[in-house]
Protein backbone atom coordinates (compact mmCIF):
# COMPACT_ATOMS: atom_id res chain seq x y z
CA UNK A 1 0.00 0.00 0.00
CA UNK A 2 1.28 3.50 -0.74
CA UNK A 3 2.25 5.81 2.10
CA UNK A 4 -1.04 7.62 2.79
CA UNK A 5 -2.49 9.33 5.86
CA UNK A 6 -5.93 7.71 5.68
CA UNK A 7 -7.77 4.96 3.86
CA UNK A 8 -11.45 4.17 3.29
CA UNK A 9 -12.52 0.74 4.53
CA UNK A 10 -15.59 -1.30 5.39
CA UNK A 11 -15.99 -4.51 7.36
CA UNK A 12 -16.37 -7.94 5.82
CA UNK A 13 -20.09 -8.75 5.33
CA UNK A 14 -21.70 -9.52 8.69
CA UNK A 15 -18.48 -9.02 10.68
CA UNK A 16 -18.24 -5.49 12.17
CA UNK A 17 -14.74 -4.48 13.32
CA UNK A 18 -13.94 -2.33 16.35
CA UNK A 19 -12.56 1.14 15.71
CA UNK A 20 -9.03 1.71 16.96
CA UNK A 21 -9.07 2.90 20.55
CA UNK A 22 -12.79 2.26 21.14
CA UNK A 23 -14.30 -1.21 21.18
CA UNK A 24 -17.82 0.27 21.44
CA UNK A 25 -17.53 2.03 18.08
CA UNK A 26 -17.47 -0.30 15.12
CA UNK A 27 -16.95 -0.23 11.37
CA UNK A 28 -19.96 -1.73 9.60
CA UNK A 29 -20.24 -3.53 6.28
CA UNK A 30 -22.60 -1.14 4.46
CA UNK A 31 -20.44 1.91 3.73
CA UNK A 32 -16.78 2.75 3.46
CA UNK A 33 -15.48 4.97 6.25
CA UNK A 34 -12.23 6.91 6.38
CA UNK A 35 -9.76 5.74 9.02
CA UNK A 36 -6.13 6.64 9.74
CA UNK A 37 -3.61 4.46 7.94
CA UNK A 38 -2.21 2.92 11.15
CA UNK A 39 -0.71 -0.47 11.93
CA UNK A 40 -4.02 -1.49 13.57
CA UNK A 41 -6.06 -0.95 10.40
CA UNK A 42 -3.34 -2.33 8.10
CA UNK A 43 -3.42 -5.55 10.16
CA UNK A 44 -7.23 -5.80 9.82
CA UNK A 45 -6.91 -5.20 6.07
CA UNK A 46 -4.21 -7.84 5.66
CA UNK A 47 -6.15 -10.49 7.63
CA UNK A 48 -9.29 -9.85 5.52
CA UNK A 49 -11.45 -8.30 8.25
CA UNK A 50 -11.58 -4.97 6.40
CA UNK A 51 -11.88 -4.22 2.68
CA UNK A 52 -10.25 -1.18 1.13
CA UNK A 53 -12.37 0.96 -1.18
CA UNK A 54 -11.44 0.47 -4.82
CA UNK A 55 -11.67 3.43 -7.24
CA UNK A 56 -14.72 1.95 -9.02
CA UNK A 57 -16.57 1.45 -5.71
CA UNK A 58 -15.72 5.02 -4.75
CA UNK A 59 -17.47 6.32 -7.87
CA UNK A 60 -20.51 4.15 -7.20
CA UNK A 61 -20.78 5.03 -3.49
CA UNK A 62 -24.30 6.07 -2.56
CA UNK A 63 -24.48 9.69 -1.42
CA UNK A 64 -27.42 11.75 -0.21
CA UNK A 65 -26.76 14.22 -3.03
CA UNK A 66 -27.69 11.54 -5.59
CA UNK A 67 -31.33 11.67 -4.51
CA UNK A 68 -33.49 14.24 -6.26
CA UNK A 69 -35.62 15.06 -3.23
CA UNK A 70 -34.88 15.51 0.45
CA UNK A 71 -37.57 12.92 1.22
CA UNK A 72 -35.84 10.25 -0.91
CA UNK A 73 -32.55 10.97 0.86
CA UNK A 74 -34.26 10.77 4.28
CA UNK A 75 -35.74 7.37 3.43
CA UNK A 76 -32.30 6.00 2.51
CA UNK A 77 -30.77 7.68 5.56
CA UNK A 78 -33.23 5.91 7.88
CA UNK A 79 -31.86 2.53 6.71
CA UNK A 80 -28.38 3.25 8.09
CA UNK A 81 -27.30 1.72 11.38
CA UNK A 82 -24.02 3.40 12.38
CA UNK A 83 -22.72 6.92 12.86
CA UNK A 84 -19.88 6.22 10.42
CA UNK A 85 -22.34 5.11 7.72
CA UNK A 86 -24.45 8.23 8.27
CA UNK A 87 -21.41 10.49 8.02
CA UNK A 88 -20.27 8.76 4.81
CA UNK A 89 -23.78 9.07 3.35
CA UNK A 90 -24.13 12.80 3.98
CA UNK A 91 -20.58 13.76 2.98
CA UNK A 92 -20.90 16.86 0.81
CA UNK A 93 -24.64 17.21 1.47
CA UNK A 94 -25.88 20.80 1.76
CA UNK A 95 -29.67 20.41 1.97
CA UNK A 96 -30.87 21.42 5.43
CA UNK A 97 -33.56 18.73 5.75
CA UNK A 98 -31.15 15.88 5.06
CA UNK A 99 -28.52 17.16 7.49
CA UNK A 100 -31.14 17.69 10.22
CA UNK A 101 -32.43 14.14 9.72
CA UNK A 102 -28.87 12.82 9.91
CA UNK A 103 -28.20 14.72 13.15
CA UNK A 104 -31.42 13.38 14.69
CA UNK A 105 -30.51 9.82 13.70
CA UNK A 106 -26.98 10.17 15.12
CA UNK A 107 -28.44 11.50 18.41
CA UNK A 108 -30.82 8.54 18.55
CA UNK A 109 -27.96 6.07 17.92
CA UNK A 110 -25.83 7.74 20.60
CA UNK A 111 -28.61 7.22 23.17
CA UNK A 112 -29.18 3.55 22.33
CA UNK A 113 -27.10 1.00 24.21
CA UNK A 114 -25.01 -1.25 22.02
CA UNK A 115 -25.74 -4.95 22.13
CA UNK A 116 -23.48 -7.96 21.81
CA UNK A 117 -22.76 -8.35 18.09
CA UNK A 118 -24.52 -5.08 17.20
CA UNK A 119 -22.69 -2.08 15.91
CA UNK A 120 -23.03 1.50 17.00
CA UNK A 121 -20.41 3.00 14.70
Cα–Cα distance for residue pair 45/120, rounded to 1 Å:
21
- List the end-to-end C-alpha distance of the chain, in Å, as a whole number: 25
Q: For residue range 86-99, list pLDDT tens digits in order.
A: 877 777 677 778 88
pTM here is 0.46
Confidence of residue 44 (pLDDT cuts 50, 70, 90): very high
| Average of per-residue pLDDT across 6-16 | 90
Average pLDDT, the chain: 78
Helices (H) and strands (E) in the chain, counts: 5, 5
Q: Is the CB of residue 9 less than 8 Å from the CB of residue 33?
A: yes
Amino acid sequence: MPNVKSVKVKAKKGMPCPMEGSTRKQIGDSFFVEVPHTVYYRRLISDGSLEVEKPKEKEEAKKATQFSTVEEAKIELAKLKTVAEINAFIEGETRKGVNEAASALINKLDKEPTTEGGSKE
